[in-house]
Amino acid sequence: MSTKRKNYDEKCIDIYDIESSLDRLMSDSKGSPVAVMKDGNPVFYCVPADTYAAILAAVEASEMIALNERAHQLGLEVFGGEDKWKSWIKASALALGGKSPESIMVTKEGINRVRDLLGQISHGVVV
């Protein structure tokens, strides 16, 4: 993969100057990414910790939405419609330790457990 990319930053620093100037430059960037350059090409980008945490949270939220949508679609296929799916997702399930599928779908792991359970149901495994 080429390291030549369009720069989406406002500030940059040469890799050889990073030790002496990064703190000041990060402060001056006011939350924007700082490109670390070598021979005129970006090597990597530095972002403030709170900006990085916000990026991770946005990615996590996007992944959760996609996982929930896939579980929802599978549920519609398994139960044949929205009403039956809504009824099942709110009911307690022995395979989930007596918890409702809806109650554990607040994490990726929980959504994946529900999807696995839906897969078992669709294959005729009694749960």
- DSSP codes joined into one string, 46-101: E--HHHHHHHHHHHHHHHHHHHHHHHHHHHHHHHSSHHHHHHHHHS--GGGTT--H
| pTM for the whole structure | 0.65
Render pLDDT for 34-74 as a digit per residue (tens, 0 to 9): 888 888 888 888 888 888 899 999 999 999 999 999 999 99
First-last CA distance in the chain:
47
What is the rounded average pLDDT of the residues 13-31? 74
Closest to 118 (Cα-Cα) out of 69, 65, 56, 76: 76
* Average pLDDT, integer, range 86-102: 95
Domain ranges in the chain are 11-47, 60-122
Please report the pLDDT score of residue 12 as a whole number. 67
pLDDT reading at 15 higher than 80: no
pLDDT averaged over every residue in the chain:
85
90-117 burial: b if 16+ Cβ within 10 Å, else e: eeebebbeeeebeebbeeeebbebbbeb
What's the pLDDT at 126?
A: 61
